[in-house]
Every structure is written in C-alpha cells, then in structure tokens.
Amino acid sequence: MKNIVILISGAGSNMAAIVHAAQHDHWASRYGARVAAVISNKADARGLALARELGVPTDVLDHKAFTSREAFDAALMQRIDAFDAPGAPVLVLLAGFMRILTPQFVSHYDARLVNIHPSLLPAFAGLNTHQRAIDAGCKVAGATVHRVTPELDHGPILAQAVVPVLPGDTAQTLAARVLTQEHLIYPQVIAGLLQKQL
C-alpha cells in the first residue's frame, strides 16, 4: 500500500477533501494508496479532530519545541517516514501547513512533495493572497497545485483553477470562492499522480 501523509496547521479543509476523495473513489483498490496519517505542527489545529473523525491517524510535532528550523524539519521527516518504514511515503501533501521548509526537507521528498496555494502562481506567492489580488485590481483569482521546491511557492505547476473577482469582494468572500475550487483540484491532481505511478 502506498502511503500518503498530509501536513496541516489549521482547519484542514483541503486535507478533508483529499481524504473524502480517497474514500469515495476507492484509492486503496484503484491505486493501492491510502492517506496514512495527518500531522500538524499545532496541537490545537482543528483539522486534527476532523482527520480522526474520518478515521485517519494523527500526530503533532510542535515546531516551538525546537531550537532551529533544521531541527524541526529533521524530526518531522522521521515522523513522516515512520508511517511507511523502512521507506518514505509515496506522497507528502501540504494542506495549509504554515511552515517554510528547509532545502534538506524538500530534497528528501524530491518530486513527492505537493502544495496548494490560494493564488494563480506565479502571482501573489506568500501570504495575504486574496487581499493582494483585490488591491491589484485583478479580475480573476484562483488556486494552484504545485510541486514544492526550495523557492517558496515557485515549484512546477500541476493544476490551476480560476474564479472571478466580483465587485464588492472582500478577502473573506474571495477566499471562500477560491476554497471551493481548491477542494476540487487538489484531490484530482493527487489521483492523477497516483494513476501515473501504477
């Protein structure tokens, strides 16, 4: 069985969308893959309870307990790889994981590390994407699924979804519209990657 590990820091709605797709579309029998674990760097992340409700094992690794980013990432790699000993998981998915990862971490999961970002990359890498799109007068916004590289939000694009920016939009209303598309494209991309690995 190919194991997928999802990393979260918050509500975990993209994580839940992936788990729902894995269960509904029978990834285990179709692709020989399952969501093996959800790991958060925050013990109070709402997504942890959601993952447990969906029957997925969870783990917490508090980044504040480490003296450096490198030390945290090294410990995180050990936690992730433990779910698929002796090798590493087939995919590590970032779903609202609010940490900048070290080059060593990215290299360890080369071509197996995927993220979703709430903008049409390369536009608006980083934070506050929705307000920045509104402030720039953009007519459209959206989300991007991409492979992770050492440069933040600049990996090869796997899929994008576009939504209109409507008159009177706030960052919150635009974010909600984008999020509905995130929940569609992220599971689709992962299923496509798994199918290629058959």
Tell me the catalytic residues.
117
Give the number of other Cβ atoms within 10 Å of residue 43's Cβ.
Answer: 9
Instruction: Render 119-145 in DSSP notation, one character per residue.
Output: S-TTTT-SS-HHHHHHHTT-SEEEEEE
Taking the C-alpha atoms of residue 7 and residue 5, their distance in angstroms, rounded to an integer, is 7
Q: Which residues contact 99 (CB under 8 A, 6 or more apart)?
A: 9, 41, 63, 69, 72
Q: How far is it, in rounded angstroms, from Cα 102 to Cα 66?
A: 14
